[in-house]
Amino acid sequence: MTNDYSFLEQYIICREDCPLRFIEALAMNGLVKEARVIDCEKKGFKKVEVILINNSKVTSQCRFEPEIIQSMKIINVYIGFSKKNKAFEKIEIVESKTGLDHAK
C-alpha cells in the first residue's frame, strides 16, 4: 500500500538547524522513518538528520556529541514504536477549533 504523505509538507515548519526537541517530536508523532548522525565542522559537535515518511529530510542544529547520542536514543525508540504499531498508516490531521493557531 502506497500512501501520499505530501500533505505533511505544510506542517513541517523547520527543515535545517532545527532544535533536537522538534526532531524528537516528529519521531514521537510517527513521522520519522530513519535517523542518522552527521559530523559538524566543529570538533566534538554532531547533528541528527532524519528522513520523514514522505522521504523529505530534516536536520538538527549542531550540538555536543553526548546530546546527540541521547537524542538518537529517544528518536530510535519512537521509530521503533511507530514501526511496531504502524503509526504511519494512522496519521490524521486534526484542525484546531479554538482559532489559536491563527493568532498573529
The confidence score (pLDDT) of residue 101 equals: 54
- Which regions in the chain score pLDDT beneath 50? 1, 103-104
Q: What pLDDT score does 37 carry?
A: 98
Element (H, E) at 79: helix 65-85
Q: Which domain holds residue 33?
A: 11-89
pLDDT at 51: 96
Residue 50 lies in a domain: yes
CATH number, position 59: 2.30.29
pLDDT value at residue 99: 58
Asked, for residue 77, whether it belongs to a domain, the answer is yes
Q: What does the block give as the cell for 77?
A: 525508540
pLDDT score at 45: 98
Count of structural domains within the chain: 1
The Cα–Cα gap between 32 and 84 comes to 13
78 lies in some domain: yes
Q: Which cell numbers hold the place of 31?
A: 513521522
